């Protein structure tokens, strides 16, 4: 996230789609607004608010090289380019962004998570999950995300505090905001196109706790449905 070309912070994002629908970049709302989701205060110590987003993907040329696309976060008339949940709106800490193809990106690193709203996963507290992202902006071996594991800490099928979220017990940190949270299955190799997406990580409940907030995949599916319709209507 940048303001007038100056780096403000880093975060995580991933591609997701409904079956046979366009894919969208999914990340936390607070990443693109640059404001604390609860207090609305600027997250940067400079008090600057991001006006652009640089998205990086591994390049097909050579491992460790990146293809990047710079996206203005606002249209010419000042409207945000991101799409919010159709009912929760600004209350939901996740957004969808329709982006052009990233030039020279390695197709093996752009598999979207396909969310099937009809699929019913049997997930319960104490099951192991992985939060895949970039804590403090750290990458492994130049180009790979960090896998941080934890455990489901609240009933995933019961909306925590009346919102489509559940809690995980995981030592995730700044920079992992926007990370996909996937179910760990020791019997199945985990990749973006085979793993079960449980939701998007959006931070800890407070600075003193390792309990983290995950917005449920079913709410992301609702956003994707809304975003798909909006993009189709815009392109008519």
- Domain borders along the chain are 2-234
**pLDDT tens track, the chain, 236 positions:** 999 999 999 899 999 999 888 889 999 999 999 999 989 999 988 899 999 999 887 777 766 677 788 899 999 999 999 999 999 999 999 999 998 766 666 555 556 788 876 666 778 899 999 999 988 888 787 668 899 999 999 998 889 999 999 999 998 888 899 999 999 876 555 554 456 899 999 999 888 888 999 999 999 999 999 999 988 777 76
Q: Distance (Å, rounded) from C-alpha 72 to C-alpha 92?
A: 21
Q: What is the pLDDT of residue 195?
A: 67
Specify the pTM.
Answer: 0.90
Q: What is the pLDDT of residue 192?
A: 47
Fold for the domain defined by 2-234: Thrombin, subunit H (2.40.10)
**Cα separations in angstroms, 61 against 28, 104, 110, 165, 192:** 29, 7, 15, 39, 21
Q: Give the CA angle between residues 80, 83, 89 to the nearest 5°.
A: 100
């Amino acid at each position: 996230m940048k303001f007038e070309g100056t780096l403000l912070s880093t975060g995580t994002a991933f591609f997701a789609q409904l079956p046979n629908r366009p894919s969208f970049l999914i990340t936390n709302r607070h990443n693109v607004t640059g404001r604390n989701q609860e207090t609305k205060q600027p997250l940067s110590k400079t008090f600057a608010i991001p006006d652009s987003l640089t998205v990086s993907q591994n390049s097909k040329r050579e491992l460790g090289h990146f293809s990047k696309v710079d996206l203005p976060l606002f249209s010419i008339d000042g409207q945000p380019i991101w799409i919010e949940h159709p009912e929760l709106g600004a209350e939901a800490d996740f957004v969808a962004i329709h982006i052009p193809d990233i030039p020279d990106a390695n197709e093996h690193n752009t598999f979207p998570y396909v969310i099937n709203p009809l699929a019913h996963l049997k997930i319960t507290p104490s099951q192991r999950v992985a939060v895949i992202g970039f804590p403090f902006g750290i990458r492994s071996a130049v180009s790979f995300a960090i896998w941080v594991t934890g455990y489901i800490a609240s009933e995933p099928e019961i909306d925590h505090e009346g919102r489509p979220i559940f809690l995980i017990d995981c030592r995730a940190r700044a920079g992992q905001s926007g990370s996909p949270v996937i179910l760990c299955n020791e019997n199945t190799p985990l990749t973006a196109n085979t793993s079960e997406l449980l939701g998007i990580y959006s931070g800890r409940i407070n600075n003193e706790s390792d309990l983290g907030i995950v917005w449920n995949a079913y709410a992301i599916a609702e956003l994707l449905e809304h975003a798909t319709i909006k993009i189709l209507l815009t392109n008519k």
